[in-house]
């Protein structure tokens, strides 16, 4: 997963501050894997009038409207896969560096809208 510099910094800080006996970056309070609805519940508790999927949707709109990134890079950045068997057969690259660049641009945008 290509991550922006700021995301890597957060993970480095978490690595230094959190116990690592279970191998998870953000474990549940019981020490296991977070359940799927945790973000939704947190946003509701904080009275944020949005849903987690909205973050992905916002990224996709921003990428289309504010960058020159090709559609394929944007879709791969969201881990979307194509249902077109022919297109999938010819796709040989994961466009890793281009996705990293796009994520870095997104991080800069979020910090300096």
pLDDT per residue over 3-25, tens digit each?
Answer: 999 999 988 888 887 766 667 77
pLDDT, tens digit, 9 for 90 and up, residues 57-80: 999 999 999 999 999 999 999 988
Tell me how many degrees the CA angle 33-34-39 measures, rounded to the nearest 5.
160
Cα gap 38→11, rounded to integer Å? 19
pTM of structure: 0.77
Q: Is the pLDDT of residue 109 over 90?
A: yes
Mean pLDDT of 32-56: 92
CB count in 10 Å sphere of residue 85:
8
């Amino acid at each position: 997963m290509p991550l922006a510099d700021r995301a890597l910094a957060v993970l480095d800080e978490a690595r230094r501050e959190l116990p690592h006996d279970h191998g998870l970056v953000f474990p549940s309070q019981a020490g296991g894997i977070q359940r799927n609805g945790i973000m939704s519940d947190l946003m509701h508790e904080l009275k944020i009038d949005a849903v987690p999927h909205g973050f992905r949707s916002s990224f996709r709109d921003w990428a289309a409207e504010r960058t020159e990134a090709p559609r394929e890079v944007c879709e791969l950045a969201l881990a979307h896969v194509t249902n077109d068997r022919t297109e999938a057969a010819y796709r040989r690259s994961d466009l890793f560096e281009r996705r990293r660049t796009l994520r870095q641009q997104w991080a800069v945008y979020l910090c300096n809208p």
